[in-house]
Structure 1
Amino acid sequence: MSDWIQETLYANGTLINKLGIRDAQDLAKKEFEITAQRELFLLNQGIKIKDISAFAKINAFLFSPLYDWAGKYRQGNFYKGNTTILDYNRFNYAEEDINHVMSLQQKQHHLTAEDYAQLMDLLNYMHPFREGNGRSTRLFLQCYAVNHGQHIIYPFN
């Protein structure tokens, strides 16, 4: 395991957090509670998503009560099973690509499911945060859809 990942963990493998919770299950429950409340709050604000910079702001908003690294790009590489994740040295290229796609989409009158799927794919591949990439992506896309007079409903299965 990479040093930068080890630096974010207690000896038992639980993420180091501002609340000092050392049990992974207790932390997961608290994390869900806090991020769900903050997600609902943010959705009700009607924020404007103009570019990729909002992605880090969303991650910071969701996770800053819990983690010092919230909203900050990861400082190394890691792998999730067989999933390929973008090398952290290439984040600037990913940002350019995502901003380009968003600028093209903003010229469209109506975004399609494929447009949102394209952004989701780019954000998933970038995977810039230590934790919370999925929740941040989901919220980013929900806010982006609201900006276009649309809604994304994620199934609970």
Structure 2
Amino acid sequence: MHDSWIKNTLYENGTLKNKLGIHDASKLQNLEYRIAGNVSLRLLQRRMRVTSIEDLIKIHQLMFQDLYEWAGKERPGDFKKGDNVFFPHESFSYARQNINQLIRSYPQSDPLSAKDYATLLDRINYYHPFREGNGRSTRTFLQLFAAQHHQVIEYPRHNKEMIEAEENADVNKISRLIKIENMPSREAAFQQLLLNHQHKDMKEKARRAILRKRRGLDR
């Protein structure tokens, strides 16, 4: 599997090439987290509607355009993580068509099941169109999509069970890890999403403050 396109996205020390010329991977990661989180929040505040997989591409571009040239662009080569091989890039048009057909098969606003969301998540995960940021952009895409169905969904991204389920394309297992909260309206779903986002942001800030304090003590 050719990986020259991947090497072209990295500095010599392995840090992703970025518009700001940051070579410190930890500093870049922290900045990326803040920017992507802020964009996700703005999209929730704007109540962005998603109707097709092309909206995922828009979301990714908005999240990462300040840092990376490849934001919102499909990867130009094949990609794998460990033994997990993702969709071949030369067939991306088929992947988009397949996912859009699935989205159109769902009702426009009626509640969906965990299996419905798991199936969509599984297909997007296999599509895996971007160099990086697939998980974060997909989460925001699915949250927006669920809100249109008057639902709030949550699932662990870095949970070992979820990682194994995604690697094995185990839709049933993925569906068991997805939590759904039914809301009385689309607006109520967005209000709850914003509260969840605020709570998560506070927890993350506290976690990072503890890490900074520990680093200071280690010096």
Task: Settle same-fold status: TM greater than 0.5.
Answer: yes
User: Is it true that 1:77 corresponds to 2:94 in the alignment?
Assistant: no
Q: Name the structure 2 match of 1:112.
A: 113
In 2, are the aligned partners of 1:46 and 1:147 still within 8 Å (CA)?
Answer: no
Q: Name the structure 2 match of 1:50.
A: 51
CA RMSD of aligned residues (A): 1.5
Residues 1-157 of structure 1: pairs in structure 2 closer than 5 A: 2-106=3-107, 109-155=110-156
Aligned-partner Cα distance in 1 for 2:66–2:136: 15
Deviation at 1:109, TM superposition (A): 2.5
Deviation at 1:110, TM superposition (A): 2.0
Q: Which runs of 5+ in 1 are unaligned?
A: none
Identity within the alignment, %: 46
In 2, are the aligned partners of 1:69 and 1:130 still within 8 Å (CA)?
Answer: yes
Question: How many residue pairs end up in the alignment?
Answer: 157
Query: Which structure has greater strand proportion?
Result: 2
Aligned-partner Cα distance in 2 for 1:140–1:100: 16
Greater CA deviation, 107-116 or 83-92?
Answer: 107-116
Greater CA deviation, 101-110 or 139-148?
Answer: 101-110
Cα deviation, 1:32-73, whole Å, max 9, x if unaligned, reads 111111111111111111111101001001111110100000
Deviation at 1:107, TM superposition (A): 5.3
Give the residue type in structure 1 aligned to 2:55. Answer: A
Aligned-partner Cα distance in 1 for 2:120–2:80: 21
Q: Which runs of 5+ in 2 are unaligned?
A: 160-219
Could you list the runs of 4 or more consecutive aligned residues of structure 1 that deviate by over 4 angstroms after TM superposition? none
